[in-house]
Structure 1
Amino acid sequence: MADTLHLAADPVELTAALVDVPSVSGDEADIADLVERSLREQTSLEVVRSGNAVLARTTLGLPRRVILAGHLDTVPVNDNLPSRLEDGVLHGLGTCDMKGGVAVMLNLAATTDDPRYDLTFVFYDCEEVEAVRNGLGRIERELRQWLDADLAIVCEPSNAAVEAGCQGTMRIELRTSGTRAHTARGWMGVNAIHAVGEALGRLEAYQARTVDIDGCVYREGLQAVKIAGGVAGNVVPDECVLTVNHRFAPDRTPEQAEQHLREVFEGFDFTVTDRSAGALPGLHTEAAQELVRAAGGTPVAKLGWTDVARFAALGMPAVNFGPGDPTLAHTRQENVPVNQIQQCREVLRRFLNHG
C-alpha cells in the first residue's frame, strides 16, 4: 500500500488505488489512515479524525456551505480484488459503491481553488452494516457542527445523474396464531399458515402510489419478503410470521406510513421491526438548483434509502450524485465506467468553482 494518495491525479487512477486498499466494514483503519495522511499533506483544509472517519473543510467565511459525503467501507471481498481496467471500465470491489465517488471527492478537495461555497468533505465508516454502527451517527453525536450546510451531496452511485431525496423504508412482522393438532385430525386444529392467506391476498391486490415531488416521481412498494411457520411435517402450525417491506414516498412520515399499513392490514396484528424516514428532494433551494444546472439533464427520484435521509433530518436538502450503476453494488461483477468518474468530477468542479 502506498504511503499517500496522489489526490490531484486522474480520479480514475485514484479510484483504482482506493479499491486496492481492502476496507470491509469494521476494517477501515488502513484506508482512513491513508486518506487522512494524504489530506493533511496535500491540502490546506482543516482535518479531523473520528474513529475511522476523516473530515476536512474550508473556513473561508463564504455565505453558503456544501457537504460532499462518501463512505470508505465495502461489503466483504468476493473474488473481486485487485482492481483491473478493461475497455474503459474499472472492475473491482467498491469501484461503484463507492470508491469512485470517494476518489472524485478527494480530487476536488485537492484541486478546488476558487470555490463559490465553503466545503466540507466527510469520509465515513461502516455504512454497509447495521445503522447503529454508521459513522455518520457518531459524527453527528461528537462533531455536530461539521454537519451544517446548505446542501449535502452523497456521492453514492447514481449513473452520474442527480437523484434527489430518497424513499423511506419500513419492515413489519405480521403474526397469525392458531391451534396445534395432528394433521391426521387437522379439523381439530387451526392452521396459522392458512390464516395468513388473507394478508397475502391483500398484498397481491395492492396498488402502490406514485408521487411527484419537485418533478421527481417516487414509486412506492409493498412486498412480502419472508414467511416463517410450521412445527413438524405432521403438525398443524399454531404460528406464522409474515415479514413485509414498505418503501414509501418522502411526503409521508414513518408514522403516516405505519398508519397506512394498519389500514391495509386491518384485522391483523403486526409489529414494526425497522423504519427510516425518507428525504424530500429539496430541489427548490438555490444551491440544489445550481447543482442541477451544472449537471444538465433532469433530476430523478432516488428509489431506495440512502444516507441523504440523515442529512435531510438535519435540515438541509440532500441528493445522490456519483459514478456507477447502483444495481451492480454488492455483486462480484461490480464495476464503473471511467467516463462516469470523469463526468462526475467535471460536473462537481463546474458547480463548486467560480466561472
Structure 2
Amino acid sequence: MPGMNRPALDLSQDAAALTAQLVDFPSVSGDEKGLADAVETALRGLPHLSVERHGNTVVARTALGRAERVVLAGHIDTVPIAGNVPSRLEDGVLHGCGTSDMKSGVAVQLRIAATVPEPNRDLTFVFYDCEEVEAERNGLRRLAAERPEWLAADFAVLLEPSDGLVEGGCQGTLRVEVRLPGVRAHSARSWLGENAIHAAAPVLARLAEYTPRTVVIDGLEYREGLNAVRIEGGVAGNVIPDACTVTVNFRFAPDRSEEEALAHVREVLDGWETVLTDTSPGALPGLSHPVAAAFVEATGSVPRAKYGWTDVARFSALGVPAVNYGPGDPNLAHKRDEHVAVAAVLECEKHLREWLTA
C-alpha cells in the first residue's frame, strides 16, 4: 500500500514469479508512481538499455542498429482491488488483481528486457499508466502526443490478455448521453408534470430491438454492439423527475471511423438529443504486414479479432502495425477471481524470446 517499503523488482526470477511480485505491488489507476519507480530502477540497472521517463510512463530502448524496431508495450495500472491482493498460487494458477490484465504481460516484457540483451530486432519497451480509466489520462496517449518519436517502430506488440493468441486490431468505442427532458411536479399531482424517466422507455426499446453488424476484415470477424450502460434520473421519492439521462456505448468494427460510428448512433437514435462524451478509434488488423505475418508464424497461433478497445489503436494512428498478444484470459479481466495459469505466462515468454533470438 502507499508508503510501504517494497523490495526491488527481481528480474532474474521467471515471468510467473515476477507476475506475483508485480501483483503484490498495488498500482490502481492514478496510483502507479511506486511501481513506475520500481520499473525504472530495475531497467536502469541494465547496461544494454537507455531509459526515459514521462510522468509515470517508463520507456527503455536498445540501439543495436538492427533493420527493424519492435515495441513491446503494456500498462502497469489495474482496476480497483477487490480483496484479491496479495497474490495467491494454487495448483499452478496465480490468483490476484492484475494477474490477467495485465501484470503477467508486463512481467514478460520485463523478462525480455532483462534477458535478451542482443535481440535480432531493436526493441522499445513501454510501461505506461492510467489505461483503465478515461482516455485523456492514458499514459500512452500522452506519450503519442508529446513524445511520438519514442514510439517510432516497424511493429508493436501490446501484451494485453489474449489467451496466448494473436488478436488483430481492436474495436472502436464511443459513448453518448441521451438527454431526456420532463416537467417537475409533485407525485401526488403527477398529471401536472411530465416524467422524464418514463421518456426513456422508447429509447431503451429501440436499443433492445437493434440488430448489430458482424463484419469480416482480413479474415477476422468483428461483432458490433450498441447498448445502454447507465441510466440516471430522479429527484426525490415524491417528485416527478424533470430530467433523465441514458448513457449508450457503441463498440464498432474498425472499418468504421469515429465520425462514421457517431453518425450511425445518431441515425439509430434519431429524434432524441445525443451528446458525445467519449470516443476512441478502432484499429485494423494489419496482419498482412510482413513483420506482423512473421510474428503470427512465430507464435504458432491462429489470429482472431480483438473484442474490446486496446491501445493498438494508438499505434495504428501513428502508422505502426500492432497486435495484442499476452498470456492472460481476457474474460477474467477485472473479475474478483482474476487469475492466470503459470504455464501460460511461461509459454508467452518462451515464444517472444524465440522470435527475438532466432
Question: Could you report, residue by residue, the CA deviation over 1:38-87 in whole angstroms, capped at 9, with x for unpaired residues?
Answer: 22223411111222222111112222211000112223333222222110
Contact 1:165-1:302 at 8 Å conserved across structures: yes
What's 1:273 paired with? 277
TM-score relative to the length of structure 2: 0.92
CA distance in 1: counterparts of 2:159 and 2:186, whole angstroms: 57
Between the aligned partners of 1:137 and 1:260, the Cα distance in structure 2 is 26
Alignment partner of 1:172 out of 157, 176, 181: 176
What residue is the counterpart of 2:100 in the other structure?
A: 96
Mapped to 2, the partners of 1:309 and 1:177 lie a distance apart of 36
- Cα RMSD (Å) of the superposition? 2.0
Deviations 1:159-186 (A, max 9, x none): 1111111111111111222334455554
Structure 1: gaps of 5 or more residues: none
Residues 189-338 of structure 1: matches in 2 within 5 Å? 189-338=193-342
In the other structure, the counterpart of 1:56 is: 60
Structure-1 separation of matches of 2:45 and 2:162: 31
**Which amino acid in the other structure matches residue 245 of structure 1?**
N
| Unmatched runs of 5 consecutive residues or more in structure 2 | none
Give the stretch that moved more between structures: 118-127 or 1-10. 1-10
CA distance in 2, matches of 1:347, 1:256: 38
Which whole-Å CA distance do the structure 2 matches of 1:146 and 1:20 have between them? 29
Letter in 1 for 2:233: G
1:129 aligned residue: 133
Q: Which range moves more in the overlay, 164-173 or 319-328?
A: 319-328
2: distance between equivalents of 1:219 and 1:166? 11
Kindly state the Cα deviation for residue 342 of structure 1 after the two structures are TM-superposed: 0.9
- Separation (CA, whole Å) in 2 of partners of 1:236 and 1:290: 62
* 2:123 match: 119
What is aligned with 2:111?
A: 107
Q: Which amino acid aligns with 2:33?
A: A
Aligned residue for 1:20?
Answer: 24
Moved more, 229-238 or 129-138: 229-238
| AA aligned opposite 1:270 | T
- Distance of 1:31 and 1:23 partners within structure 2: 7
Aligned pair in 2 of structure 1 residues 198, 291: CA closer, same or farther (>3 Å)? Answer: same
Q: CA deviation at 1:114?
A: 4.5
Q: Choose 11-20 or 286-295, whichever is displaced more.
A: 11-20
Q: How many residues are paired up?
A: 354
Mapped pair 1:149 → 2:153 = yes
2:56 & 2:208 partners in 1: Cα distance?
A: 45
Instruction: Tell me the alpha carbon deviations over residues 291-340 of structure 1, each in whole angstroms, 9 at most, x when there is no partner.
Output: 11112231111111111111111111211111111222223312110111
Compute the displacement of 1:7 (Å).
2.2
Identify which of 82, 86, 106 aligns with 1:78. 82
The answer as to whether partners of 2:120 and 2:356 remain within 8 angstroms in 1 is yes
Deviation at 1:234, TM superposition (A): 4.5
Question: Residues 110 and 175 (structure 1 numbering): CA distance in 2 closer, same or farther, change over 3 Å?
Answer: same
C-alpha displacement at 1:213, in angstroms? 0.8
- Partner of 1:116: helix, strand, or coil? coil
Q: Is the 8 A contact 2:48 2:117 kept in 1?
A: no
Residue 129 to residue 236, structure 1, CA distance change in 2 (3 Å): closer
Deviates more, 1:111-120 or 1:273-282: 111-120
Q: Is the 8 A contact 1:7 1:42 kept in 2?
A: no
- CA offsets 1:128-150 (integer angstroms, 9 cap, x no match): 23322222133224432110111
1: distance between equivalents of 2:7 and 2:195? 64
- Cα shift at 1:195: 2.9
TM-score, normalised by the number of residues in structure 1: 0.93
Residue 235 of structure 1: how far off its partner (Å): 4.2
The Cα offsets for residues 260-283 of structure 1, whole Å up to 9 and x where unpaired, read as: 112111121111111111111111
CA-to-partner distance for each residue in 1:11-59, whole Å, 9 max, x for gaps? 1122122222222223323322222222222341111122222211111
Q: Of the candidates 165, 183, 200, which is equivalent to residue 161 of structure 1?
A: 165
- The one of 33, 36, 44 equivalent to 2:37 is 33
Residues in 2 aligned to 1:209 and 1:292: alpha-carbon distance in whole angstroms: 27
SS in 1 for 2:45: helix
8 Å contact from structure 1 (residues 43, 110) kept in 2: no
SS in 1 for 2:198: helix
Contact 2:144 2:314 in 1 (8 A): no
Counterparts of 1:179 and 1:22, CA distance in 2: 47
Farther-moved stretch of structure 1 (254-263 vs 50-59): 50-59
Cα 1:129–1:237 change in 2 (3 A) is closer
Q: Distance in 2 between matches of 1:17 and 1:126?
A: 20
User: How many angstroms apart in 2 are the aligned matches of 1:108 and 1:231?
Assistant: 55
